[in-house]
Structure 1
């Protein structure tokens, strides 16, 4: 059914949605973006599903956007870039509005879009060796489509500490930034995830869905206007000379012109 992810549901109704491009550190490409959107919608609509665990195979949780996919956007025309940016934005939104509680099992590094995927989880638990970073500005890009979810999770004051510096930080700082709810040792991660899952299995599923929808409605608005603004911002940045230089420098294995 899927090529870049897996989706399994156990007898309790606990679904495990797994990013499954370990050889690419689960970087987001067009296929994964489409499959995650479909899976989020399907799991959200499945009455048998009570909880969704978002996790990943391999060493990393998610390395962000696949550089090959991003290079394709640099070579594309404006309308094509807008279509691809929209697909990315709608994938994040599909996870964010999923009526089932989404628990992030963050066992390894997460950068760029991977941080965005953590931010759309209702709660994320991370393993202490993991590192995180909003690394887009190193490539001349900006954390556009993930921005509303990162700001909703961290708040502006905390987000501004890491939103534009591309600085990497560890799990303990991610807790202080409110990106992670808890940081635990790898050996304790599954137990910590189970502790988050168990209470939901005693709750009324409909009430959980309505409570989540209410929390989203009362929180920072992430409506169609906000989403469209982030798409436009990403497309404009893809068209910038800095983005062209940043992506080219990455593939040429050299520093971009602005690096000191």
Structure 2
């Protein structure tokens, strides 16, 4: 597909999806939302891709909603707004459930809906120059569609403050509350992300997919007999998989597993 709002490249086993509306601070509209959903759906099904980097061109990572799109929404009916919001929700869910690990490379400011993009990713690396803000309340809005991912990432207590206050906070605060995993100087951002991606790609592709699903499925569940049975079933199934047998054999034979020979 000829993407208008994104730049997509694949190098080896790593795909990079780059927000490419720098003049508009990579704010998204209905077109970029549709393209993001399609890109992550297609890359998630691509067996040659082992990791995806979500990046952005320009000084800002993502400023949230495009102003022209917001003007259009202001004239929408309740039903039209609901349908529009569902498209954004579906896009975020596509990123969140993508079978490939997704690493956010946050080089600049990340506001409002942009924080939803970041929170839906698996690993977040931010530049020291980046700032974050859940600015919706300043406009009479709430961060409803992004809230499931942002609350999971920053925690309920932090969300109580920043959802209500719409204060801006820096990348160090983002790391302290758990939204960002790594905060590095701007000049170290590319190298840090590349190192994390290389680590992901050294692991069993099947195990990485199942581990990502495991975290998603286990988080918040009560420890009961059903959970014990579920976890036992998962490990039994993966132990019998071709990749697990190959990985254990390679370890015992002190050689590289087959997924590193390509």
**Aligned counterpart, 1:104:** 104
**Aligned counterpart, 2:41:** 41
**Aligned counterpart, 1:138:** 138
Q: Secondary structure at the residue paired with 1:161?
A: helix
1: CA distance, partners of 2:159 / 2:168: 13
**Aligned counterpart, 1:243:** none
Confirm whether residue 7 of structure 1 aligns to residue 2 of structure 2: no
Deviations 1:17-43 (A, max 9, x none): 000010100001000000000001001
**Aligned counterpart, 1:176:** 176
**Aligned counterpart, 2:70:** 70
**Residue 158 of structure 1: how far off its partner (Å):** 2.2
Length, aligned pairs only: 220
Q: Secondary structure at the residue paired with 1:110?
A: strand
Question: Is contact 1:175–1:182 with CA below 8 Å preserved after alignment?
Answer: yes
Stretches of 4+ aligned residues off by more than 4 angstroms: none
Listed as ranges, the matches of 1:44-59 within 5 Å are: 44-59=44-59
1: CA distance, partners of 2:85 / 2:92: 11
Deviations 1:61-83 (A, max 9, x none): 00001121122111012221111
CA RMSD of aligned residues (A): 1.1
Question: Is contact 1:152–1:220 with CA below 8 Å preserved after alignment?
Answer: no
Confirm whether residue 90 of structure 1 aligns to residue 66 of structure 2: no
Question: Is contact 1:152–1:219 with CA below 8 Å preserved after alignment?
Answer: no
1: CA distance, partners of 2:93 / 2:81: 18
TM-score, length-scaled by structure 1: 0.83
Bigger relative contact order, structure 1 or 2 (CA pairs below 8 A, ≥6 apart):
1
2: CA distance, partners of 1:155 / 1:171: 16
**Aligned counterpart, 1:125:** 125
2: CA distance, partners of 1:156 / 1:4: 33
TM-score, length-scaled by structure 2: 0.82
Deviations 1:117-176 (A, max 9, x none): 110111111111111100000000000000000111111112223122110011111111
Q: Which runs of 5+ in 2 are unaligned?
A: 222-262
Identify the range of structure 1 (83-92 vs 193-202) with the bigger mean alpha-carbon deviation. 193-202
Q: Secondary structure at the residue paired with 1:160?
A: helix
Question: Is contact 1:159–1:177 with CA below 8 Å preserved after alignment?
Answer: no
**Residue 220 of structure 1: how far off its partner (Å):** 4.7
Q: Secondary structure at the residue paired with 1:76?
A: coil
**Cα distance change of structure 1 residues 216 and 160 upon mapping to structure 2, 3 Å threshold:** same
